[in-house]
Structure 1
Amino acid sequence: MTKLDIGIVGLSVMGRSLALNMADHGFKVGGYNRSASVTDQVMKEHPHQNLIPFHDLGQLIASLSRPRKVMLMIQAGKPVDAVIEQLIPLLGQGDIILDGGNSFYEDTRRRAKMLEEQGIHYLGVGISGGEEGARFGPSIMPGGNRDAYESVRPILKAIAAKAMDEPCCTYIGPEGAGHYVKMVHNGIEYADMQLIAESYLLLKYVGGFSNRELADIFHSWNQGELHSYLIGITADIFREADDLTDGELIDYILDSAKQKGTGRWASIEALKQGVDISMITSACSARIMSNHLEARKKASGLVNAPAFNPVTDKEQFASMVREALYTGKIIAYAQGFSLMQDASEQYGWNLDLGRIASIFRAGCIIQAVFLNDITKAFESGSGDDGKPENLIFDRFFLSRINEHQDSLRKAVSTGVMNGLPIPALCNAISYLDEFRGKAVGANLIQAQRDCFGAHTYERTDREGTFHHEWRKSNDN
């Protein structure tokens, strides 16, 4: 029997889609699922001459060519560790396990170290694109041992999406770098989706646009600088008729959104690293707040809300919201890429931000024409000192921010005065003002900390740290 090129463990939506993608590209793929019925169902619904089903994990491993390559497409966390324990006795020196799920990068580092001691390579492979991307071309972010990556590179690059004829797959870096970048990708995705949702609130409740008009607006936005996967599907969503009653489906969907944790991980890591990704954090918090439906309902009857002030020039208002959305998007990406840059320095990963931006241009959820400009910024450098230390310093993006920031300020003030929740837009302008602010009030905070806790302070006119014996009034 001809040896197979790779085995896929886990044949749910993403696993089976990747297996079929590989099979389409001529690779011999073995498929295994813990529940044999799932394996049988996949083969019944998607028969493929290059996809071979297995009901026994050991038989799957025995069918693979060396070095044996096994890709895990299972739920992150304990299930991954459980499957690894099953695989260790079946694998040998130089074999490779690829984790294609949304594993936490520290778990990936731990597993890689443990398996390396046994001669087994472990790659943390971030994959974005959902079911359609996995089936026809995702964005792929592999990290781990470089030699192990070279062994699987032909498969991963073959199945990846293509942007400008280049595969949306590149070696990210050692250890857990691949899963770290996927984590930040998802954080940016959270912020991007929240910005779009807030733009929707402004257009619908202040602008007074109907769903049909919203569909036309987002469709027109998708023809220009905001062209992206998310803007495109948003236009389609507003046109979708409800299949259970009259009207558009969007008006019957519960106003509550869940999250799987990657955006939250990004926020936690940012706090540990000391990097401001407040827009991503605000997007996570917005989803948390959306789930408190009963409390929100109670508060809406108790907390006075301002009266809506509808606009008179709807076309001008839509243009303002578009510019605000674009500006907020720049700042969200600047935050995300700053987090990756800091991690690269802290962990010695030497991340290539230009290449990372380039593999986001197709296949993944945040794919957008916008990423061509980010790729140029980090690959060729258009800041005053070459490659920008922050995306905001890139000449192109700086010019767009300076051109459109008034629209962002107007959108924020309009939303606030009309009582609309727009945390991502608010955090965008706050970040920008803190970033450019000549004064941010931190001198007073230093004084307070020294006053109540003798934490010392630094001065503007001389080096060193100082403590002052503060005079306290009887009001304290």
Structure 2
Amino acid sequence: MEELCTLGIYGLSNTGQQFAAHHARNQIRVCICDHDDPSFTPKVIAEYRKQNEKRDDADTTVDRFMRPSNTVEEMVSGLNTPRKIIIFNSNSSDGKFELLWNKLSPCLDKGDIVLRWGREEKENAPSHQFHSQSIVNKLAREQANSKEVHLLEMVRLERDRVNTFKSSNTQPDAFLVGGSEDAYNIMQPFLAPYAVTGLVGNSASCAHYALMIQRAIEFGVTQAFAEGSEILKRVAGHYEPTDVARVFVNWAEKGGKILSSYLLDITSKIIYKRDKVSGDGFVLSKIVDSIEVTPSDAWAKQEAIKLKVPAPILGAVLDARLLSGMKDEREDASSVLSELALKDTPSVLKDQISEDLQCAIYCTCMCAYAEGLSIFQAASDVESWDLNIAECVRLWNLPGSFLESDSLRKVHSAVKDDADESSTLMVISPIAAELQEMHMHWRRMVTLSFAYGISIPALSSSLTYYDTYRARTLPVGLIRAQRDYFGGNGYDRIEGAGWFTTNWTKDHTALNKKGLTTTDKPVQLDADGDEKIKTAAKKRKRQTL
């Protein structure tokens, strides 16, 4: 009787073939089947056998440890239990994966593991807006209630592979994985030689969500660097592009490396790049200063609103991008609403600007991380996910990741060591200590930019986020009073007893001899008394009349 296989490969894309061959060379038996063309399977093995015959160092184990299957049933029956199956070439659409799953699932039993390899998010992917509708997550819930089959989802991490690794073949792909921890631990040894992976949560949706949060954070961080470049050009003695780039390089090499990052490195290179097309000036000055906002760009902000999580940086950056798209209107407005005259702007020291701006960008990045992770944690609380935030941050910081930075390494360390996993990043030591140390540099930079009339949505909104979050009291009590005045909405009091509404008109007209406002006794209502509030408001209006 033929020996059973350890691993099933369903879908013989190029990656699927290479993955199967890799394990076969290591004498791990793999059972392979192509879901698009079953007749293709023996051709793959024949091709490997043919290649081996032409080589002096022929690896005869490859074809011997690959077992062809013409049907799904044949592949599944040829596997050890619990069965371990990886589905390749299904990332074109969730619909295709569901069709494949419908063929596969009847053959599976309790404890079997199925992993969907390499889901790639596209700009129009539905899961940008509807992560909870991930087909793997949907099917996993169904299986949990029936056969108890484990489904894992792998989502490809966005990285600059070409420029970072010089060749797309020099480093393995990296993937965010969502699903059962036990199932992942079984599959991880098979994935390790071929891909960098990390389990970010116990649901397939966690992997999708982690990628979307990464993109949301990128919005804030990239905007902060762009604003820093503009400040240097317009405030610090009108720096030339080479001067600006030199400041960025100095930050990476001499400035304590607090901003050392992938983005800092590429930004200096971008600013330095001369334009070979026109032969005049720099490429950056030739790029139209307008960027399109897609529906997926607003996804994280919509999620934040739905989850009641503040995301002022993301909102400000989205507004900035929308304003950039109003190119014609901005040009017309610039001729009517002129820039500040140089005599109206304060004098500054270049060295002071460099230090202040570096700190301001760093603090903005930290607030962007805090904002993104807060959205992620809130979603986890609602969806009852078991998140591994530290692992997620580790993957975001892999070489070539757009967020790779020394600051993110600090975030990873802080989150990993944080005993209270619900804490917002800004109050976790040592992040809190750094914000406390740098906030005056940050404030000076925001004040100076406003004095020069420079738009800094990321730097300023992040400072507002920081100040609002740390405020013991806020002036929203007046807003609630205004709403009670004109709408009878009611309010709760700091004593915590019941729900109140006040006859504000009578108070306004009744002054005692000392000039102090006399206060009516408020109408006390039950906490659940919305209808009572409305009734009290109507009664008050009648009495006023």
TM-score under structure 1 length normalisation: 0.79
2: CA distance, partners of 1:390 / 1:200: 29
Aligned residues of 1:143 and 1:173 also touching (Cα < 8 A): yes
Structure 1 residues 386 and 254 mapped into 2: Cα distance closer, same or farther (>3 Å)? same
Counterpart position of 2:97:
84
Structure 1 residues 160 and 299 mapped into 2: Cα distance closer, same or farther (>3 Å)? farther
2: CA distance, partners of 1:31 / 1:407: 61
2: CA distance, partners of 1:239 / 1:33: 50
Post-superposition offset of 1:234: 0.8
Post-superposition offset of 1:449: 2.1
Is 2:340 aligned against 1:323?
no
The AA in structure 1 aligned to 2:352 is Q
2: CA distance, partners of 1:392 / 1:437: 13
Worse-superposed segment, 182-191 or 249-258 = 249-258
Is 2:231 aligned against 1:231?
no
Aligned residues of 1:3 and 1:63 also touching (Cα < 8 A): no
CA deviations over 1:110-133 (Å, ceiling 9, x no partner): 454467779675544333233518
- Alignment partner of 1:69 out of 86, 91, 95: 86
2: CA distance, partners of 1:182 / 1:370: 19
Counterpart position of 1:222:
252
Counterpart position of 2:229:
200
Counterpart position of 2:298:
264
Aligned residues of 2:220 and 2:458 also touching (Cα < 8 A): yes
Counterpart position of 1:106:
132
Name structure 1 gaps, 5 residues minimum. Answer: 35-47, 53-57, 162-167
CA deviations over 1:380-433 (Å, ceiling 9, x no partner): 23xxx8667111112322221122111211221222222222111111111111
The AA in structure 1 aligned to 2:96 is V
Q: Relative CO higher for 1 or 2, CA cutoff 8 Å, sep ≥ 6?
A: 1
Worse-superposed segment, 195-204 or 355-364 = 355-364
Counterpart position of 1:282:
316
- Alignment partner of 1:141 out of 151, 154, 176: 176
- Alignment partner of 2:499 out of 456, 465, 468: 465
- Alignment partner of 2:384 out of 339, 343, 348: 348
2: CA distance, partners of 1:211 / 1:30: 56
State the secondary structure of the residue aligned to 2:199.
Answer: coil
2: CA distance, partners of 1:310 / 1:396: 34
Structure 1 residues 85 and 358 mapped into 2: Cα distance closer, same or farther (>3 Å)? closer
TM-score under structure 2 length normalisation: 0.70
Aligned residues of 1:242 and 1:248 also touching (Cα < 8 A): yes
Structure 1 residues 73 and 194 mapped into 2: Cα distance closer, same or farther (>3 Å)? farther
Aligned residues: 438
- Within-5 A mapping of 1:323-402: 323-363=359-399, 364-381=401-418, 389-402=423-436
2: CA distance, partners of 1:62 / 1:316: 71
2: CA distance, partners of 1:358 / 1:279: 23
Post-superposition offset of 1:276: 0.9
Aligned residues of 1:21 and 1:137 also touching (Cα < 8 A): no
CA deviations over 1:38-73 (Å, ceiling 9, x no partner): xxxxxxxxxx99999xxxxx9999989764322457
2: CA distance, partners of 1:281 / 1:409: 20
1: CA distance, partners of 2:192 / 2:229: 37
The AA in structure 2 aligned to 1:199 is G
- Alignment partner of 1:96 out of 111, 115, 118: 115
Structure 1 residues 3 and 389 mapped into 2: Cα distance closer, same or farther (>3 Å)? closer
The AA in structure 1 aligned to 2:307 is Q
Aligned residues of 2:216 and 2:300 also touching (Cα < 8 A): yes
The AA in structure 1 aligned to 2:157 is S
Structure 1 residues 209 and 19 mapped into 2: Cα distance closer, same or farther (>3 Å)? farther
Aligned residues of 1:189 and 1:366 also touching (Cα < 8 A): yes
Worse-superposed segment, 102-111 or 414-423 = 102-111
Structure 1 residues 248 and 263 mapped into 2: Cα distance closer, same or farther (>3 Å)? same
The AA in structure 2 aligned to 1:233 is I
Structure 1 residues 408 and 22 mapped into 2: Cα distance closer, same or farther (>3 Å)? farther
Structure 1 residues 451 and 213 mapped into 2: Cα distance closer, same or farther (>3 Å)? same
The AA in structure 2 aligned to 1:107 is Q
Structure 1 residues 404 and 8 mapped into 2: Cα distance closer, same or farther (>3 Å)? farther
Post-superposition offset of 1:142: 1.0
Aligned residues of 2:200 and 2:387 also touching (Cα < 8 A): no
Aligned residues of 1:267 and 1:280 also touching (Cα < 8 A): yes
CA deviations over 1:354-388 (Å, ceiling 9, x no partner): 2322232214211111122212212223xxx8667
State the secondary structure of the residue aligned to 2:234.
Answer: helix
2: CA distance, partners of 1:20 / 1:202: 50
Post-superposition offset of 1:171: 4.0
CA deviations over 1:315-367 (Å, ceiling 9, x no partner): 22122111111111111111112222222222221223223222322142111
Aligned residues of 1:141 and 1:172 also touching (Cα < 8 A): no
Aligned residues of 2:157 and 2:175 also touching (Cα < 8 A): yes
Post-superposition offset of 1:209: 1.8
The AA in structure 2 aligned to 1:82 is G
State the secondary structure of the residue aligned to 2:310.
Answer: coil
Aligned residues of 2:179 and 2:199 also touching (Cα < 8 A): no
Counterpart position of 2:466:
432
Percent identity over the alignment?
Answer: 24
Structure 1 residues 281 and 59 mapped into 2: Cα distance closer, same or farther (>3 Å)? farther
CA deviations over 1:59-111 (Å, ceiling 9, x no partner): 9999897643224575xxxx623322442354333543345222331221445
- Alignment partner of 2:156 out of 127, 132, 153: 127
Aligned residues of 2:231 and 2:454 also touching (Cα < 8 A): yes
2: CA distance, partners of 1:111 / 1:9: 23
Aligned residues of 2:72 and 2:103 also touching (Cα < 8 A): no
Is 2:423 aligned against 1:423?
no
Structure 1 residues 60 and 368 mapped into 2: Cα distance closer, same or farther (>3 Å)? farther
1: CA distance, partners of 2:35 / 2:324: 35
Structure 1 residues 23 and 340 mapped into 2: Cα distance closer, same or farther (>3 Å)? farther
State the secondary structure of the residue aligned to 1:243.
Answer: coil
CA deviations over 1:188-233 (Å, ceiling 9, x no partner): 1111111111111111122222221222221222231111111111
Is 2:194 aligned against 1:153?
no
Structure 1 residues 298 and 5 mapped into 2: Cα distance closer, same or farther (>3 Å)? farther
Is 2:239 aligned against 1:209?
yes
1: CA distance, partners of 2:505 / 2:481: 12
2: CA distance, partners of 1:33 / 1:258: 38
CA deviations over 1:116-163 (Å, ceiling 9, x no partner): 7796755443332335187524543211344553454235444445xx
1: CA distance, partners of 2:328 / 2:190: 49
The AA in structure 2 aligned to 1:324 is A
Structure 1 residues 443 and 357 mapped into 2: Cα distance closer, same or farther (>3 Å)? same
State the secondary structure of the residue aligned to 1:130.
Answer: coil
